[in-house]
């Protein structure tokens, strides 16, 4: 694709971009520095019109935004790896070393250093208009879970030339691709309605049952599965013997001691919404072998003998 695409793009460059004058001939084989390109004309009054870009193109707000939105295929003229080609200088001639790996240069950096918006690629905090509002609620530790890396929802680039990021073979210029295949919720659905459907993470812990819009607020335990404040109607939806214990006021911490504290607060952030159900019985007289309980439960004075969780 790459050998044909630039030619198609170039055909539209002269018509579409805000360039003052496009080079007379540009192709992947003839760089803008070639003699056919009217650059470096000796007539001062012609200098402006000899340029490919507009006069103010060095302004970061102009060329930076065009680079991010890929209005022009920068690396067609500035070299495949952006180190320059002819009169189209290397981007490194102005940018500080390390700019290619600087993840908060073009997005993020407002609330944390992860690179996640806000700020968005527009350069603004798009607020309610953002393509995905709850980045912070996912990438940082919250009261519910440890922060999730970008790779749960995107292919993680290592620099600006990573395939699919922005300059090289990006099929959706100006729009980030969500790709969940390398994460905890690989089969989750996400589309223009900006809703996660068939989600494990927002589900009931028994399967990919969750559905959440990106502007929903998710704060309570009961937003995903039955919790301490639920009643019988919801506890019966949980697996096995939950209901029979919860109706006796037995707290989550008794059996999920690694995850929840006595006050129903999540204490094991990295073990909650991590893809596996963690059972750890507080009472050391009782053993859970992954399927059955054995022992004497002090709290309730119940004796469990090879008790299943059907
Ligand atoms: C068709 C070829 C071509 C494309 C595509 C192109 N450039 Fe250029 N660029 C040039 C040339 C030639 C120059 C040298 C000055 C001039 O002619 O405007 C240049 C110069 C520049 C400069 C220096 C401007 C100045 O006034 O000193 C910047 C910044 C720049 N380009 C950024 C970009 C970015 C960002 C993109 C992609 C969004 C891009 N260019 C796409 C050919 C191109
Ligand atoms: C004439 C000098 C110059 C050249 C050449 C240049 N830049 Fe820039 N660019 C700047 C300056 C100055 C900034 C703002 C300070 C910074 O971010 O380092 C900037 C910022 C940017 C930004 C960040 C914009 C933002 O606010 O998010 C992008 C993206 C960018 N440049 C892309 C490019 C690309 C791609 C090239 C090469 C095709 C290029 N620049 C070449 C001077 C230049
Ligand atoms: C829980 C999933 C999730 C995680 C984790 C996540 N993102 Fe996103 N991100 C998305 C979704 C969904 C979109 C919107 C995609 C679309 O437009 O369809 C998005 C969009 C973006 C955008 C484009 C924003 C814009 O301007 O429109 C950037 C940049 C981005 N993410 C960077 C990151 C980075 C960097 C990280 C890691 C620090 C990260 N994301 C972690 C789900 C996530
Ligand atoms: C020169 C600007 C620039 C730099 C530097 C940059 N990004 Fe991006 N990034 C973008 C743009 C523009 C998009 C969204 C548009 C797109 O996909 O076409 C994006 C999208 C993303 C996405 C969403 C997935 C995708 O590819 O669409 C992630 C994740 C991301 N960047 C992470 C990073 C990380 C990590 C770094 C540092 C290694 C980084 N970015 C550095 C411009 C940049
Ligand atoms: C008497 C012990 C016990 C108590 C009390 C208990 N759980 Fe569980 N829980 C389990 C066991 C055992 C499993 C694992 C079942 C399996 O492996 O299939 C489990 C699994 C789960 C799951 C995964 C989904 C499911 O339904 O299996 C969730 C979510 C969960 N518990 C939440 C809670 C919450 C919230 C509380 C408190 C309101 C709680 N549990 C109280 C023993 C308990
Ligand atoms: C965003 C959805 C979501 C919210 C909100 C949520 N949980 Fe969970 N919870 C899950 C999922 C998914 C599981 C399945 C097991 C896993 O991946 O850790 C789970 C599992 C559990 C378990 C079983 C132990 C384990 O493996 O983590 C307990 C106990 C639990 N949650 C308690 C709570 C409590 C208490 C709250 C409120 C303070 C809460 N949860 C809020 C999604 C959620």
How do the domains of the chain map onto residue ranges? 241-310
pLDDT in tens, 58-85: 999 999 999 999 999 999 999 999 999 9
Ligand 6 centroid to 205 CA: how many Å? 7
Cβ(17)–Cβ(52) below 8 Å: no
Is pLDDT above 50 for 238?
yes
Task: Looking at the CA of residue 96, tell me the nearest atom of ligand 2.
Answer: 18
What's the confidence (pLDDT) of residue 300? Answer: 67
Q: Are strands 195-199 and 210-213 parallel, antiparallel or unpaired?
A: antiparallel
Using CA of residue 227, residue 232, residue 234, residue 235, what is the dihedral sign? Answer: positive
Q: How far is CA 262 from CA 52, 56, 120, in A?
A: 67, 62, 40
For ligand 1, the distance from its centroid to the CA atom of residue 52, given in whole angstroms, is 7
Please state the pTM of the whole predicted model.
0.91
Per-residue pLDDT at 42 exceeds 50: no
| Percentage above 90 pLDDT, the chain | 77
Which residue's CA is the nearest one to ligand 6's atom 6? 221
The string of DSSP codes covering 253-307 is GGTBTTTB-TTS-B--GGGSSSSS---B-SSTTEEE-SSEEEEEETTTTEEEEEE
pLDDT at 4: 37
Mean pLDDT of 111-115: 94
**Higher model confidence: residue 52 or residue 44?**
52
Q: Is 148 in the pocket of ligand 3 (CB under 6 A)?
A: yes
Task: Give distance in angstroms: CA of 239 to centre of ligand 5.
Answer: 7
Of 56, 178, 67, nearest to 121 (Cα)? 67
- Mean pLDDT across the stretch 203-222? 96
In terms of C-beta density within 10 A (0-12 exposed, 13-18 middle, 19 or more buried), how is residue 76 classed? buried
Q: Please give the share of the chain, as a percent, with pLDDT higher than 70.
A: 83
Spatial contact of 213 and 195, defined as CB atoms under 8 Å apart: yes
Tell me the CA–centroid distance for residue 178 and ligand 6, in Å. Answer: 24
- Is the confidence at residue 21, as pLDDT, over 60? no
Q: What is the pLDDT of residue 197?
A: 97
Does residue 9 sit in helix, strand or coil? helix
- Statement: residue 48 has pLDDT above 90: no
Average pLDDT, the chain: 86
Output the pLDDT for position 49: 66
Query: What's the pLDDT score for residue 310?
Result: 82
Find the residues whose C-beta lies inside 6 A of ligand 6: 144, 200-203, 205, 218, 221, 223-225, 227, 252, 256, 259-260, 264, 266, 271-278
Q: Any residues with Cβ below 6 Å from ligand 1, and which?
A: 23, 26, 32, 39, 51-53, 57-58, 63, 66-67, 71-74, 76-78, 87-89
Residue 266 or residue 48, greater confidence: 266
* Residues with C-beta less than 6 Å from any ligand 5 atom: 205-206, 221, 225, 227-228, 238-240, 242, 245-246, 250, 252, 254-256, 277, 279, 309
Write the residue with the smallest CA distance to atom 3 of ligand 2: 94
Q: Are 200 and 207 in contact (CB under 8 A)?
A: yes
The 10s digit of each residue's pLDDT in 269-281 is: 999 999 999 999 9
Indicate the pLDDT class of residue 299, thresholds 50, 70 and 90.
low
- 196 forms beta bridges with 190, 212
């Amino acid at each position: 694709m790459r050998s044909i695409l630039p030619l198609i793009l170039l055909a539209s460059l002269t018509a579409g971009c805000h360039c003052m004058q496009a080079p007379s001939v540009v192709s992947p084989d003839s760089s803008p520095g070639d003699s056919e390109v009217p650059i470096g004309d000796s007539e001062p009054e012609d200098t402006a019109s000899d340029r490919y870009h507009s006069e103010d193109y060095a302004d970061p707000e102009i060329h930076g935004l065009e680079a991010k939105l890929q209005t022009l295929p920068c690396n067609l003229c500035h070299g495949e790896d952006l180190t320059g080609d002819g009169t189209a200088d290397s981007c490194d001639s102005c940018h500080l070393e390390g700019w290619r790996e600087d993840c908060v240069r073009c997005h993020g950096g407002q609330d944390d250093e992860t690179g996640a918006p806000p700020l968005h690629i527009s350069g603004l905090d798009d607020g309610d208009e953002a393509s995905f509002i709850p980045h912070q609620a996912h990438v940082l530790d919250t009261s519910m879970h440890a922060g999730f890396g970008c790779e749960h929802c995107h292919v993680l680039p290592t620099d600006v030339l990573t395939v699919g990021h922005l300059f090289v073979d990006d099929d959706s210029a100006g729009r980030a691709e969500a790709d969940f295949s390398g994460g905890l919720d690989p089969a989750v659905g996400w589309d223009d309605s900006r809703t996660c459907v068939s989600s494990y993470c927002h589900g009931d812990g028994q399967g990919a049952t969750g559905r959440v819009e990106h502007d929903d607020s998710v704060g309570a335990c009961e937003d995903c599965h039955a919790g301490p404040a639920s009643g019988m109607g919801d506890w019966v939806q949980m697996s096995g013997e939950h209901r029979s214990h919860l109706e006796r006021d037995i707290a989550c911490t008794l059996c999920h001691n690694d995850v929840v504290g006595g006050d129903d607060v999540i204490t094991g952030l990295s073990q909650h919404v991590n893809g596996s159900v963690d059972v750890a019985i507080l009472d050391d007289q009782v053993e859970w072998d992954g399927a059955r309980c054995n022992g004497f439960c002090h709290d309730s004075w119940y004796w469990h003998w090879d008790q299943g969780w059907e």
